[in-house]
């Protein structure tokens, strides 16, 4: 971590203190809602699987990377569905915890600047509620790095909190490791992906309702162009067309 940006180092150190208590901290901030972190994890994992299936059809052979994986909350739900799953994070102790809990996933820690993988290593990349912890000055590099490690035609999905939703803001304000977070509006993420060079950049709001299963996700999608959802995602493809090339 010696070469890491000081702000990024501070974030990494704070998250490492929650390596075994992350779920408890999030659940405490969600207590008023009657929902828990596992619910939101399942919903976003389901949405991500839907996005991968829509982009690639068969997802069983895909090489996928989670940028900002933390303790790997999503990985038990995703790893059995894809070819390989890789997680990377600046918080080295969280990565070690993830490695213990998910032995079938490949993990690395890094300095927050250059991902430790060659160009065109993955078919798909995702980052879930991570960018608001990245220093704003590093947002552009974060998205460019995602583009770099994707194969032509590869998919990048960014999930973020919706700062226009008052219940979301209540959760964020109650969460101890969100105290210094800088939330991004949907349009900011769209602009970052556009500038990085992604094509077919598409934003959608989610969790306007508790979308706990496929029928409820279908209803949730009816509201996806309206800024009511608790969260949103933005997807983009690396230029190259067709299926990713290996």
Query: Is 0.85 topped by the overall pTM?
Result: yes
210-219 core/surface letters (b: 16 or more CB in 10 A; e: else): ebeeeeebee
The Cα-based distances of 150 to 66, 141, 166, 189 in angstroms read 12, 14, 35, 18
Per-residue pLDDT of the chain (246 residues; tens, 9 = 90+): 557 888 888 988 989 898 899 989 999 999 888 899 999 999 999 999 999 999 999 999 999 999 999 999 999 999 999 999 999 999 999 999 999 999 999 999 999 999 999 999 999 999 999 999 999 999 999 999 999 999 999 999 999 999 999 999 999 999 998 988 999 999 999 999 999 999 999 999 999 999 999 999 999 999 999 999 999 999 999 999 655 444
pLDDT of residue 241: 67
Instruction: Give the domains, in start order, of the chain with CATH numbers.
Output: 6-237 (3.40.50.150)
């Amino acid at each position: 971590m010696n070469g890491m940006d000081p702000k990024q180092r501070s974030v990494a150190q704070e998250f490492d203190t929650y390596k075994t208590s992350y779920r408890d901290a999030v659940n405490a901030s969600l207590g008023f809602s009657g929902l828990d972190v596992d619910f939101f994890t399942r919903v976003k994992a389901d949405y991500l699987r839907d996005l991968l299936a829509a982009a690639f059809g068969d997802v069983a052979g895909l090489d996928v990377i989670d940028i900002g994986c933390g303790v790997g909350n999503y990985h038990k739900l995703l790893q059995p569905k894809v070819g390989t799953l890789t997680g990377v994070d600046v918080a080295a102790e969280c990565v070690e915890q993830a490695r213990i809990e998910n032995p079938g996933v490949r993990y690395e820690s890094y300095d927050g600047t250059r991902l430790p993988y060659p160009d065109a290593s993955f078919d798909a990349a995702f980052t879930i509620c991570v960018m608001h912890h990245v220093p704003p000055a590093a947002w552009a590099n974060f998205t460019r790095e995602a583009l770099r490690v994707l194969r032509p035609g590869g998919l990048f999905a960014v999930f973020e909190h919706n700062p226009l939703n008052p219940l979301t803001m209540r959760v964020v304000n109650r969460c101890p490791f969100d105290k210094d977070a800088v939330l991004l509006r949907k349009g900011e993420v769209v602009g970052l992906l556009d500038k990085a060079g992604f094509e077919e950049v598409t934003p959608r709001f989610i969790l306007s309702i508790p979308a706990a299963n496929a029928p409820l996700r279908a209803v949730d999608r009816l509201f996806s162009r309206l800024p009511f959802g608790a969260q949103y995602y933005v997807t983009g493809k690396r230029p190259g067309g067709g299926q990713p090339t290996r």
